[in-house]
């Protein structure tokens, strides 16, 4: 029996079918960009579902042509200008708490990524147990072009991709399709979009919380997609040679050496993408991903919160506000980064982003306590 508990204005639609709960992000005109009015109910619902013995499975999807393009950054900037940076900090605090809850959830989450999934959209999906990509999926972490960094514990999942593919994806904001997401491990399954209604119906009918059973049901609708000939995932050898370097400057030098040996348009485009991004963002993003390789999701999110508070505060750099102006507000696509060059950014400045914020009212992110005896092994592994 299905029941709906949502009104047309809600940014999250809720449908209850047997022991499954289907949550639909409902800002299709804004590509399901996340606001506090979306994140707050999601957080409350996930907490309530975890305590409810009648709920065994949570299905999360987006209405329209996007799962979610991430946080509504332009709205956050407007709110900050009207008030102060702590308004933005409160938004990210809730986002990161939701990310942590999803990563350590005691019940199964199936995220259906039938469209665009970027930034915070990845945080609301990839930390769950199952991620289903389709032929319509477009994934990216485009933060360095905005003067931000891949947050939402992206340093956890990017650093665990094969080789140094995560550094490449995080620094360049490169777009991946569904086949590439499956190949590199960001998605657990690939299902053609035409089969999604049947998959949803089958998941709602099963009445099980066993991940093996749920995975086997998704498998029944899966296909093995082929990578396109020009797929960036076919260039892992070059990516590993270049993006394994210790610093952003050395990564660029390695790419420039590759161009000398082989005239490859993709390498030249990658160099130009890096040179257009915020130098500060590139430096703090690389360090964040490298640190994430040795940390659990919780530690990654605590670090993300420190970093994002420094970014919002704007004392170390105002690149985030300049990036939002150039890309999202004025849309002249010509940001004036400051500092403008990698070599002008001292290691001590980068260190500051990873330190506590010097503000009497500021506190480190406090994540909810998770009882290990209640969690499945795949969730415990992320702690």
Which residues are the active-site residues? 71, 120, 143, 151
Q: How far apart are CA 29 and CA 230, in angstroms?
A: 31
Residue with tokens 């190949």: 183
End-to-end CA distance of the chain: 36
Closest CA to 278 of 342, 346, 326: 342
For the beta carbon of residue 314, count every other beta carbon within 10 angstroms.
14
- CA 307 vs CA 250, 326, 353, 354: distances in Å: 23, 22, 5, 6
For residue 339, whether the previous peptide bond is cis, meaning omega lies within 30 degrees of 0, is yes
Phi and psi for 12 in degrees, rounded to 5? -130, 120
- Sign of the CA dihedral 29, 32, 35, 41? positive
Q: How far apart are CA 86 and CA 102, in angstroms?
A: 24
- Beta carbons of 53 and 281 less than 8 angstroms apart: no
**In this structure, what token pair is assigned to residue 72?**
């509504």
Q: DSSP secondary structure string, 95-108?
A: HHHHHHHHHT-SSE
Q: How far apart are CA 216 and CA 2, in angstroms?
A: 24
Q: How far apart are CA 383 and CA 372, in angstroms?
A: 9
Q: How far apart are CA 161 and CA 293, in angstroms?
A: 10
- Give the pairing type, strands 2-4 and 12-17: antiparallel
The three-class DSSP label of residue 111 is strand
Q: DSSP secondary structure string, 39-108?
A: HHHHHHHHHHHHH-TT--EEEEEESSSEEE--B-HHHHHHHHHHS-HHHHHHHHHHHHHHHHHHHT-SSE
Q: How far apart are CA 355 and CA 357, in angstroms?
A: 6
């Amino acid at each position: 029996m299905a029941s709906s508990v949502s009104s047309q204005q809600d940014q999250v639609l809720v449908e209850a079918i047997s022991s499954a709960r289907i949550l639909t992000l409902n800002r299709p005109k804004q590509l399901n960009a996340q606001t506090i009015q979306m994140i707050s109910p999601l957080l409350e619902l996930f907490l309530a579902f975890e305590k409810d013995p009648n709920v065994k499975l949570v299905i999360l999807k987006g209405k329209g042509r996007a799962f979610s393009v991430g946080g509504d950054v332009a709205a956050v900037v407007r709110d900050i200008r009207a008030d102060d940076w702590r308004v933005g900090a409160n938004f990210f605090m809730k986002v990161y708490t939701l990310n942590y809850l999803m990563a350590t959830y005691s019940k199964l989450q199936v995220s259906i990524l039938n469209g665009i999934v970027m930034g915070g959209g990845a945080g609301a999906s990839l930390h769950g147990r199952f991620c289903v990509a389709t032929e319509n999926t477009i994934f990216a972490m485009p933060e360095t072009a905005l003067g931000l960094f891949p947050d939402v514990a992206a340093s956890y999942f990017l650093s665990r991709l094969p080789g140094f593919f995560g550094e490449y994806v995080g620094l360049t904001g490169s777009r991946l399709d569904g086949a590439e997401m499956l190949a590199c491990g960001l998605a657990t399954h690939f299902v053609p979009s035409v089969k999604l209604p049947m998959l949803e119906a089958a998941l709602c009918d099963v009445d099980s919380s066993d991940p093996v059973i749920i995975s086997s049901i998704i498998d029944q609708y899966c296909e093995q997609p082929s990578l396109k000939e020009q797929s960036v995932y076919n260039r892992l050898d070059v990516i590993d040679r270049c993006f394994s370097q210790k610093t952003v400057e050395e990564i660029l030098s390695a790419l420039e050496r590759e161009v000398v040996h082989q005239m490859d348009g993709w390498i030249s485009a990658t160099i130009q993408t890096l040179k257009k991004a915020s130098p500060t963002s590139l430096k703090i993003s690389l360090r964040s991903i490298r640190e994430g390789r040795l940390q659990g999701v919780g530690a990654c999110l605590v670090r993300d919160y420190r970093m994002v508070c420094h970014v919002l505060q704007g004392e170390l750099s105002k690149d985030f506000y300049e990036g939002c102006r150039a890309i999202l507000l004025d849309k002249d696509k010509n940001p004036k980064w400051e500092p403008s060059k990698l070599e002008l950014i001292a290691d001590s400045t980068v260190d500051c982003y990873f330190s506590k914020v010097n503000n009497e009212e500021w506190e480190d992110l406090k994540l909810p306590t998770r009882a290990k005896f209640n969690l499945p092994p795949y969730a415990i592994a992320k702690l």
